[in-house]
Amino acid sequence: MFELHNNTVLPDHLRNCVVAIGNFDGVHRGHQALLAQTQEIAKRLGKPWGVVTFEPHPRTFFRPEQPAFRLTPHALKLRLLKALGADFVSVVDFDAELAALSPEDFIVQQLDHKLGATHVVAGFDFHFGKGRKGNLDSLRGHGFEVTRVSEVTEEGAGDLAFSSSNIRNALRQGQISQASQELGYDWTILGTVVPGDQRGRTIGFPTANIIVENGVEPARGIYATFVREVDHPEPLWMGAGYFGDRPTFNTNRTFLEVYILDETLDLYGRQLLVSFVELIRPDQSFTSVDALIAQMKDDCKNARKILSARKTARFPLAKLQAAGKI
C-alpha cells in the first residue's frame, strides 16, 4: 500500500482513482461498508482506489487541551486500511493552514492535483474546508463523480448506527463485546514494550509495559487479551491485561501492562498488538501484596477460560485479525 504525506503527488499508475474520504477513527463496520463500496466502484470502473484521511484527528487540533480518545491511532489505522485492500492512503496534515483552506482550494490541492481523483465516496454528513462549508455538492460542482453513503446501522437493532462515539463510550464502560460488535474486530492497542518498575517480576507476574497515547481511556481494570508481535502472526499469546494506575501502589500514572500466560518472554523494545476481548473485573485496591497476588492468580485463570472459549471470528476484519493479517 502506497502512503502519501504533505505535498507528495500520487504516482501515475494510481491516478485517475476512486477515493474514500473521512477520519475513519476505529475503521468500524460503518466505515468498512463505505470502504467496501469504494472498492466495488473502483473494480467496476477498472481504477485504483484509496483513502484520504487526516492526521492528527481534527478534534486534537481544535481542542488540544482535551486529548482525543482515538480508537485507532495513525499506525494502527494504516494497518487496518491496508488489510482492507486500499491501494494507497493519502494522509492530510490537519493544521492551521488546512483549517483555513477554502473548500475549493482543498478540492484542487488534495483531490485534483495531489491524487488526480475522478470519483469520491463519502458519508452522508461529510463536510470540509474552512467553516465546514464544503459538502458533496461542492465536489460535484468541480466535476467529480460522487457517491453518498447513507448511515449504516446494525441489522435487527432498530436505528442504532455504527458510531465511533458509541464505541468509545462502550469501552469507557467496559462493554467490550459491544465495542467489538460495532468495530467488527477486537479493539486493539499497538505499542512498544518499555522497561517498567519491575514490580510485577518481584511478585511472580512479569508484565510487558506499553505506553499509550494521551486520551485513551477504556474502563480501568483487568482484561482477557490476545497478544502478538507486530508483523508476526504466530505465536498468538493469551494474556491478562491491566489498564489503570495501580491504586495498591499509589503510582498516579496510567499503565497498560500485559502478563503473557504460560510463557517467559523478553519483549523489551518489541512492538505488540494487544487485543481486548473481555473485562474480567474493574480496577481495585488491595490491603496487601499477598491479597493482590491471590486475585491475580484468579484473574489469569479467568482470562485463560475466556480466551480458550473464544468463538470463530465472524466479521471480515475479525477474520483478518485472527489470521494475523492486521
Section 199-221 average pLDDT: 84
Quickly tell me which residue has 523494545 as its cell: 269
Region 147-176 average pLDDT: 86
Pull the grid cell for residue 315. 466479521
Mean pLDDT for the stretch of residues 107-128:
95
SS3 62: helix
Give the span between the Cα atoms of 312 and 208, in whole angstroms. Answer: 27
- 10 Å CB burial of residue 12 (0-12, 13-18, 19+) is exposed
pLDDT of 205 reads 86
Q: Check residue 37 and give its pLDDT.
A: 97
Write the pLDDT tens digit of every residue in 287-316. Answer: 888 998 999 999 999 999 999 999 888 899
Average pLDDT over residues 120-133: 93
Mean pLDDT value across the chain = 91
249 pLDDT tier (thresholds 50, 70, 90): very low
Whether 217 has a pLDDT exceeding 80, the answer reads yes
Res. 198 pLDDT band, cuts 50 70 90: low
Mean pLDDT of 117-135: 94
Contact 111/92 with Cβ under 8 angstroms?
Answer: no
Cα–Cα dist 54/32, whole Å: 17
pLDDT digits (tens, 9 = 90+) for 43-67: 999 999 999 999 998 888 888 888 8
Using the predicted structure, report yes or no on whether residue 158 has a pLDDT greater than 70.
Answer: no
Domains of the chain: 7-149 (3.40.50.620), 174-322 (2.40.30.30)
